[in-house]
Structures are given as C-alpha cells and as structure tokens.
C-alpha cells in the first residue's frame, strides 16, 4: 500500500476523545501508553508508541472515535490483549490505539440456538469457562486462551491445538458487530444456521487483522461439551519419524482432537524453563495425541488403534495418560515452549508455517539443513495434525547482531520459498501483520495480492484502519 501522511493527535483531538469516552478512558503520555506500543513480537524491533490510547465502553463510542479519526485523518489501531505474534496490534504510525479491554461482557447464552453473544474484549478463557459451566463448548479458541480476547481471535482467525478436529475460530463465528473505517456500525450474520444473502462479508472480516474494521461483538456457535478425554504420549528416535506417522493416523479416518509435535530441543528447553524433569525428555521427538468425545469406550478403542499405528511406524514408547496430573505436566511443557525460548534467547523469529498434512515429513529435513547453513537453531514444535509448525529461528548468543539480521532475513526467504513449493503458506494462525508483510508478495499470486489491496482501498479509502499491516 502507498505510504500515507497522517495528522497528529492534538490537544484539541484529545479533548474530543475525552468528550466521547470520558476523561479517564483516554490515556496519553509515555508512562500510561507504553504497554500499548508492543505485542509479543520483539519490542526492540517492532514497538511503536501511540499518541493516545482510547478505552471505549460500547460500539457507539467506538464508532464515534473512528468517525473523528477518519475526519481528522488519524490512524486507528484496534487492540485486544496484545498477545499477537505478528505485530498486528502495534501502532506503527502513532495515532490512536483503540483498546477494547473494557468491552468484556458475556451478553447472552442462548441454549435454544446453541450460541453465545459476547463483547470483543472478553478473555477467551472466561467465555469458554462460562459456557462450559452450562455443559457447552466453544471449540474455536486457541492455545493462548489465558490472555487472548475474542475480538483478537476473530481478527487473526486464530487456531490452536484443537484445530485438527474442531477447526479454527472462524468456523464458530455465526455473527459479528463491526465498526467500519467510516464509523458505521453494521451487523453481519447472526443466529442463523444458513445464510447466502449476498456476499459473505463476515468471512471477509474474519482474519483481516483489523485492517477492514473493528469487531465489537460476536455471536459464537457452541457445541456439546465432550464428556470423555484421553491422551497418548508417543516417543520417537527422530523428528522425521514422529512427523511421518501423522498422515498415517489421519488417513485411517481417525480424528484426534490434537496432535502436538515437539522436537528434543523444544522439550529440553521448556523443561529447564519450568524446572521440570520428565523421564523421557531425551528422546528425539514426541507426539502428544489427544482424543475427546461423548463415547468413552470408542475413545479407548481409537486410542489403542493409534498406539498400534505409532508402534508399527517406529515409535520407541507409547504412554497412555492414566494420571491426569502427569498429562497436565506434559501439556504444560508444550504450552510453555515459546516462553522458554524467549528466556533462553530473546532474539529469535517465531514462525508458524503451514503445509498440507501429506507434505509435513518433507519439511523437517529441510529445516535442519537451513539451520546448519545459516548458523541458527531452528527448534520445531506445533500442531502437526493440521500441518501448522512453529519453526523458530533462534539466534546463537555468539553471533553478532549484524550477522543475525542478515542470516535471519535470508533464512526466512528460503524457509518461505520451501514452504510455498510444498503447497504451503507463511502463516497458519499468527497472521502477517508487520512481521511478515515484506515476504507476502513472494508467496502469493500477484493477482490475489492485487485483489486484497483493492478490497482494502474500497473499504478504507483514507487508510486509517490499522495501516501498515499485511501489505508493504
């Protein structure tokens, strides 16, 4: 997208913002706004300070702020929990950060239509807990559920470990209330099970990273809460041996809830970070396989069959999770891998490439080759059941900053090229944001990219809505 010159947030604009949301809901000054300058990407590289942070209480206030920003030509950056990994909620051009953290209510639990209606700022884990108490299940939430907010999940079309069976966030969004870049409030979708009335604009907004509008409320589809669950921990000699078995399991028609992959480096680093000790942490790689459902007997049969398939394809050991405390320890190791590597080496590039499931075995040796060629560690873990792998470039402490920047750029270019050649894409769940925008043109068709830019121009002609994300 063409670079845009914006106007500053003047004292007069601050006064207008205070008139819309109240004086206490407009933050200025570095001390109050610094926390809104960054997300979970590396702050030294990607952080930008906002000029003002606005905390609206309802959609009408959001719309009024956006109308003001559009009129004054000031950029607006929508924000949830700031837990993103692509720089999507960072105010690169300053302006206004519009945080939905105070719009956090569960508005309705409609059992008759199997939906919940909630504001965009609700913490996803709180929403999931509230519906679970009623015997229902929001299946679309990602693994960062302790902090992330519903609106951010929708903006990124977030995925997670359960996507193998249940899919990603977008599958469970029946309707959204959106404030457009012009400040109009529109309702897309709703409680209907079917709707082909014109273009599916709801799906256009889901995954658009806040560049086309601000989701203020969502109608979320619910399903019955699974009553039975079981897990397998399967150990392999090498990462490739572990990955090779994934398409074999899925080709048998078995559908685990999760198939999480961890290579040896990931497991050891996370165990050290947690001061945890597992008797099998020295194996070459692990698969953590979870099944859930309503029929405990069927789950047990499927678990046995998956275990036999793994053994037939080179598994060293297959452990059945008979002790819930132990399996929670193992899941905790998986959940904390990213944090563990940050503690070990804060300079890194956390990636989330995605390839067709059948091509997963081909990517592992290529990652090993890239790591050796560029002198970086590339631990690999992630959602092997849907082809979404977190191949993370980790800086060697002995490498100079200049060499790291050069090697990181070149290594990512090759990683993305290889991913594309295998029929994959550069992001399965974290989004493009600031972090990957420079690589997008290399991985998708120019005609497709042109359509995306035309859509952005049509919806947001003044380019005030989260500018600088997705496109260079």
User: Which residue ranges form the domains of the chain, and what is each CATH number?
Assistant: 106-224 (3.30.465.10), 228-339 (3.30.70.2190), 343-433 (3.30.70.2740)
User: Which of 289, 273, 262 is closest to 390 using CA atoms?
Assistant: 262
| pLDDT < 50: residue spans in the chain | none
Task: Please provide the distance, in angstroms rounded to a whole number, between the alpha carbons at the two ends of the chain.
Answer: 6
Closest CA to 157 of 218, 198, 77: 218
Q: Taking a C-beta distance cutoff of 8 angstroms, is the pair 373, 379 a contact?
A: no
- How are beta strands 106-110 and 348-349 bridged, if at all? unpaired
pLDDT at 132: 95
pLDDT the model gives residue 161: 80
pLDDT of residue 320: 87
Whether 271 contacts 333, CB under 8 Å: yes
Q: Quick one: tokens of 308?
A: 């036999």
In angstroms, the Cα distances linking 85 to 143, 411, 443 are 13, 19, 19
Report how far Cα 210 is from the mean position of its chain's Cα atoms. Answer: 14
- Give the integer Cα–Cα distance in Å for 435 and 14: 30
Which stretches of 342-395 are assigned E, i.e. beta strand? Answer: 348-349, 353-354, 380-383, 388-391, 393-394
Neighbours of 5 (CB within 10 A): 6
- What sign for the dihedral angle of Cα 204, 206, 211, 212? positive
Look at residue 3 in the predicted model and tell me its pLDDT. Answer: 60
* pLDDT tens column, 431-449: 999 999 999 999 999 999 9
Q: Which two tokens stand for residue 449?
A: 């990219």
Strand order in the sheet with 353-354: 317-320, 228-236, 285-293, 258-263, 380-383, 388-391, 353-354
pTM of structure: 0.94
Give the angle subtended at the CA of 133 by the CAs of 127 and 136, to the nearest 5°: 75
CA angle, corner 447, sides to 446 and 449, nearest 5?
Answer: 65
CB contact at 8 A, 62 and 130: no
List, for residues 38-61, the tens digit of each pLDDT value: 999 989 899 999 999 999 999 999
pLDDT at position 144 is: 61
Confidence at residue 145, expressed as pLDDT on a 0 to 100 scale = 58
Q: What is the pLDDT of residues 392-424, one digit of tens each?
A: 999 988 899 999 999 999 999 999 999 999 999
Confidence (pLDDT) at 19: 98
């Amino acid at each position: 997208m063409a670079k845009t010159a914006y106007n500053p947030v003047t004292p007069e604009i601050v006064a207008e913002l205070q008139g819309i949301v109240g004086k206490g809901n407009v933050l200025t000054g570095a001390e109050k706004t610094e926390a809104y300058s960054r997300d979970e990407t590396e702050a030294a590289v990607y952080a930008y300070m906002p000029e003002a942070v606005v905390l609206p209480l309802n959609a009408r206030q959001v719309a009024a702020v956006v109308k003001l920003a559009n009129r004054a030509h000031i950029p607006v950056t929508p924000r949830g929990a700031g837990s993103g990994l692509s720089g999507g909620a960072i105010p690169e051009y300053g302006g206004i950060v519009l945080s939905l953290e105070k719009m956090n209510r569960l508005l309705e639990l409609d059992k008759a239509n199997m939906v919940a209606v909630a504001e965009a700022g609700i913490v996803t884990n709180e929403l999931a807990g509230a519906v679970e108490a009623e015997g229902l299940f929001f299946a679309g939430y990602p693994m960062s559920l302790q902090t992330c907010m519903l609106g951010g999940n929708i903006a990124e079309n977030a995925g997670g470990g359960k996507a193998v069976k249940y899919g990603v966030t977008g599958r469970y969004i029946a309707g959204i209330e959106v404030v457009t870049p012009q400040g109009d409030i529109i309702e897309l979708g709703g409680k209907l099970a079917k709707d082909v009335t014109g273009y599916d604009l709801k799906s256009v907004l889901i995954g658009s990273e806040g560049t086309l509008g601000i989701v203020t409320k969502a109608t979320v589809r619910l399903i019955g809460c699974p009553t039975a669950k079981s897990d397998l921990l399967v150990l392999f000699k090498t990462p490739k041996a572990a990955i090779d078995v994934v398409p074999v399991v899925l080709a048998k028609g078995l559908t685990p809830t999760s198939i999480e992959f961890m290579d040896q480096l990931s497991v050891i680093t996370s165990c050290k970070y947690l001061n945890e000790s597992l008797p099998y942490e020295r194996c070459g790689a692990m698969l953590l396989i979870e099944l859930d459902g309503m029929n405990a007997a069927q789950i047990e049969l499927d678990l046995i069959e998956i275990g036999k398939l793994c053994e037939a394809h080179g598994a060293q050991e297959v452990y059945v999770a008979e002790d819930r405390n132990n399996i929670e320890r193992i899941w905790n190791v998986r959940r904390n891998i990213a944090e563990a590597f940050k503690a070990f080496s804060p300079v890194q590039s956390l990636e989330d490439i995605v390839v067709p499931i059948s091509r997963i075995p081909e990517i592992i040796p290529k990652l090993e080759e890239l790591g050796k060629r560029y002198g970086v560690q590339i631990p690999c873990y992630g959602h092997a059941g849907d082809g979404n792998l977190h191949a993370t470039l980790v800086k060697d402490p002995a490498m100079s900053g200049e060499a790291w920047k050069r090697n990181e750029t070149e290594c990512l270019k090759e990683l993305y090229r290889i991913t594309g050649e295998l029929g994959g894409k550069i992001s399965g769940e974290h989004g493009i944001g600031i972090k990957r925008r420079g690589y997008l043109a290399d991985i998708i068709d120019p005609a497709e990219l042109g359509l995306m830019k035309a859509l952005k121009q049509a919806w947001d002609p003044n380019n005030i809505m989260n500018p600088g994300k997705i496109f260079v």
